[in-house]
């Protein structure tokens, strides 16, 4: 679903407040589900690290003995984490960037964002390559500190989530909260916490910390493999190239991020903070971590087929998102060489029914899943953990689509039913 959002009306704000009072806007099982996820999400990341780095990728049963394998923070890992955070903050503040105005959000506010992700990524990778060539940093060091760095990041995510929970109450906007501490800590107490006029904490951590740290860790694992074996495997090269393409593309179309669900609808709490600080960097790089220790020996002829599958998914993902973004910013922009078709709602918004958005309500999720699977395939089929990204990502996107459906059904009423009758499929055209 995509729409052009008008300024919020008193009636709309009243409806939102009534929904909050009834508590019918909660997700993930409400306070109980939030509590469970707060406990288990960090444990999953630790378990995956133990599986790959201590048990060769084997799944092991939880036990008391396993507790002794939990990596503990070290002074070096803490220095790496906070030095990295400070470096990325400096790039965000000091490097030039264009200022872009986002969509009108649920209270009608249009936020401004400073975007300099691509130049920040280039500076980060260039500096990293220079330091590596000079012998000042080594992939083996990152590999040795990866477990302690994971634990440091988890502890930081908890502390930072408390900060943004408390800081959110200084917001002067019409924020959506449940009034239940554990749930609001998990989901967030405000939509766009920021420091100053342009330093948006949510966008910064999703891009500079989530995306950039992910690809840097993948490259560090490639360096570690080279240092350990004297060569780079074709599987490691393929994984790094495909994931680098994704990250570069993210920054190339950075302004399209401003029309996404994360930015415009999700409060910034533990769920997203833990996702950006821990989940994305450490779990998205699992394939590269696995390949440090394993040589799957994928047939050479299969490599281009995996790449082709990835770029087919990329086309679906990027073309879908651009159609949505262009429609939101310019409703008259042509789609597939034709004027866009849409459903005019009683709220005054328009629901796009052209292009990929006429085939399914979230074909961009289909492209995302195709790429996710392509990144896992170079790991072979001997162990499950390298496939974790795809295994968790599929139900995550299905859940997100259903949450979006619930919100839109409440928002648009009969118009949403009309839209769903016209665009019947959710994610996979003709199937689901």
Mean per-residue pLDDT over the chain, rounded? 91
CB-based burial label for 126 (10 Å; 0-12, 13-18, 19+): exposed
Instruction: Please write the tens of the pLDDT for every residue from 81-128.
Output: 999 999 999 999 999 999 999 988 877 889 999 999 999 999 999 999
Find out whether 13 and 176 touch, Cβ atoms under 8 Å: no
**Between residues 88 and 266, the one the model is more confident about:** 88
| 3-state class percentages of the chain: helix first, strand second, coil last, to nearest 5 | 65, 5, 30
The rounded percent of the chain whose pLDDT value lies above 70 is 94
| Least reliable range by pLDDT among 44-53, 147-156, 198-207, 404-413 | 404-413
Ranges of each domain in the chain: 10-422
Q: Sign of torsion, CA 79 83 86 88?
A: negative
Which residues, 6+ apart, have CB-to-CB distance to 217 below 8 Å? Answer: 142, 146, 281, 282, 285, 288, 289
What's the distance, CA 221 to chain centroid? 21
Query: Is residue 38 scored above 60 in pLDDT?
Result: yes
Going along 287-377, which residue ranges are E strands?
342-344, 350-352
- Output DSSP code: residue 407: H
CA distance 390 to 368: 10
């Amino acid at each position: 679903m995509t729409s052009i959002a008008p300024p919020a009306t008193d009636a709309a704000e009243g409806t939102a407040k009534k929904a909050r009072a009834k508590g019918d806007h909660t997700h993930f099982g409400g306070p109980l589900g939030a509590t469970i996820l707060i406990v288990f999400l960090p444990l999953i990341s630790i378990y995956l690290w133990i599986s790959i780095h201590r048990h060769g990728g084997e799944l092991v049963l939880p036990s008391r003995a396993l507790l002794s394998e939990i990596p503990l923070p070290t002074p070096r890992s803490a220095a790496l984490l906070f030095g990295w955070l400070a470096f990325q903050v400096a790039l965000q503040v000091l490097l030039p960037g264009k200022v872009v105005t986002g969509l009108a959000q649920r209270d009608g506010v249009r936020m401004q964002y400073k975007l300099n992700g691509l130049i920040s990524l280039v500076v980060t990778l260039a500096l990293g390559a220079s330091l590596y060539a000079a012998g000042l940093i080594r992939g083996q060091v990152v590999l040795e500190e990866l477990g302690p760095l994971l634990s440091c990041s988890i502890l930081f995510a908890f502390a930072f989530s408390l900060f943004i929970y408390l800081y959110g109450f200084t917001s002067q906007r019409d924020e959506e909260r449940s009034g239940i501490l554990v749930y609001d800590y998990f989901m967030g107490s405000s939509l766009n916490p920021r420091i100053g006029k342009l330093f948006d904490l949510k966008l910064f951590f999703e891009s500079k910390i989530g995306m950039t740290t992910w690809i840097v860790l993948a490259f560090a694992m490639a360096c570690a493999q080279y240092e350990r074996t004297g060569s780079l495997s074709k599987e490691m090269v393929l994984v790094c190239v495909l994931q680098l393409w994704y990250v570069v593309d993210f920054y190339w179309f950075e302004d399209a991020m401003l029309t996404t669900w994360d930015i415009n609808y999700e409060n910034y709490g533990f769920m997203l903070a833990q996702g950006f600080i821990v989940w994305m960097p450490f779990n998205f790089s699992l394939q590269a971590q696995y390949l440090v220790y394993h040589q799957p020996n994928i047939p050479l002829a299969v490599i281009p087929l995996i790449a082709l599958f990835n770029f087919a998914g990329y086309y679906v993902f990027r073309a879908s998102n651009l159609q949505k973004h262009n429609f939101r910013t310019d409703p008259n922009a042509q789609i597939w060489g034709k004027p866009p078709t849409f459903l005019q709602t009683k709220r005054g918004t328009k629901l796009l029914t052209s292009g990929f958005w006429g085939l399914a309500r979230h074909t961009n999720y289909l492209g995302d899943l195709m790429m996710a699977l392509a990144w896992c395939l170079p790991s072979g089929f001997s162990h499950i953990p390298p496939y974790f990204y795809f295994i968790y990502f599929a139900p995550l996107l299905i859940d997100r689509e259903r949450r979006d459906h619930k919100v839109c059904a409440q928002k648009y009423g009969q118009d949403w039913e009309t839209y769903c009758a016209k665009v019947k499929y959710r994610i996979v055209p003709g199937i689901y």
